[in-house]
Amino acid sequence: MITALCLVGLGATSLALGSARQADTLLRPLGAALLAAGAVLAAGPALADEHVQAVDNGQVACALSSRELTRVALVGDAFASVSKITSGSPLEDFTVTNEPVRGDIYLSVPVGFVGTRVSFFATTKKGFVYKFACELGGADATQVFVTNPAIALDKADAGLPPIAPRDEATRLIQAMAVSAVPDGFQIKQPAAAAVRVGELGIRLIAEYRGNKLVGKTLRIDNRSARPVTVRGTDIAPSGTLAVSITDTDLASGEATTAYVVGAAGEGTW
């Protein structure tokens, strides 16, 4: 049996011969290939563990063992419940076992399982909901470690003095102005049509949504035949914490960008 150690040894020998003999130009690439193959074989067992990131209400993709158990662990959290459909056919169903001490779950499929993937919903003890979609993989037992950046952000904030909501809103506007996505936020760029508000046309360019704040990037254009001054009150709905307008004075036909931030769940936010 050719092991990773054998391949590495052969590769090193080939490289040495290729260096010593001017005419044997094919030995160097052969040695490099054997070394690469040995490295892949040596690293093979590490592929048994998966590390994936998740967001609330998002989908988690993973590999599922076709013969052994698949352990799914939430970093900094624990499973509270799992919701799945039972088909009624033993060869089409999979099993979910909850481990109450650590809060992990274990997945398994029966011998002769006819499907190629399984899917289910899970709710965590911190209140997050994930949809799992796991493809059938190899026979070895596997582990899946799921990390939610929002949990790490909450831990980091726990040791710091509380930040006033308006200060948080200002920081979000600064990030939006350079098209950065802060930790704990999801960005959506909808294909929204412009809305007419008086003499202004307002179109949503991007929306940043986090647990506490929602930020919106707006394009504002002057549709009137005369100059207008854009005020925060013209574009800020109820519950707004901060507004920033790039250029408040617009000639006829000119446009500008505005950033508006509000508290999630407040007013129309």
The predicted model scores a pTM of: 0.44
Rounded to the nearest 10 degrees, how much is the dihedral formed by the CA atoms of 13, 14, 15, 19?
A: 100
pLDDT band at 88 (very low <50, low <70, confident <90, very high): confident
Domains and CATH numbers, the chain: 4-41 (no CATH), 49-155 (2.60.40), 165-263 (2.60.40)
The contacts of residue 36 (CB under 8 Å, 6+ apart) are 11
Residue 55 CB neighbours (<10 A): 15
Task: Provide the 3-class DSSP secondary structure of residue 224.
Answer: coil
- Number of Cβ within 10 Å of residue 211's Cβ equals 12
Query: What confidence score (pLDDT) does residue 95 get?
Result: 94
pLDDT tens for 225-266 read 999 999 888 888 888 899 999 999 999 999 999 999 999 887
At residue 127, the pLDDT reads 92
pLDDT digits (tens, 9 = 90+) for 9-59: 434 443 443 444 444 444 444 444 444 444 433 444 444 589 999 999 999
pLDDT exceeds cutoff 60 at 129: yes
In this prediction, residue 167 has a pLDDT band, given cuts at 50, 70 and 90, of: confident
Q: How many angstroms separate the CA atoms of 43 and 4, rounded?
A: 9
As a whole number of angstroms, the distance between CA 62 and CA 78 comes to 17
The total of other beta-carbon atoms located within 10 Å of residue 84's CB is 15
Does residue 161 register a pLDDT over 80?
A: no
pLDDT at residue 218 greater than cutoff 90? yes
Tokens of 30: 């052969």
pLDDT of 219 reads 95
Give the position of tokens 């209400």.
57
For 213, counting Cβ atoms within 10 Å of its Cβ (0-12 exposed, 13-18 middle, 19+ buried), the class is buried
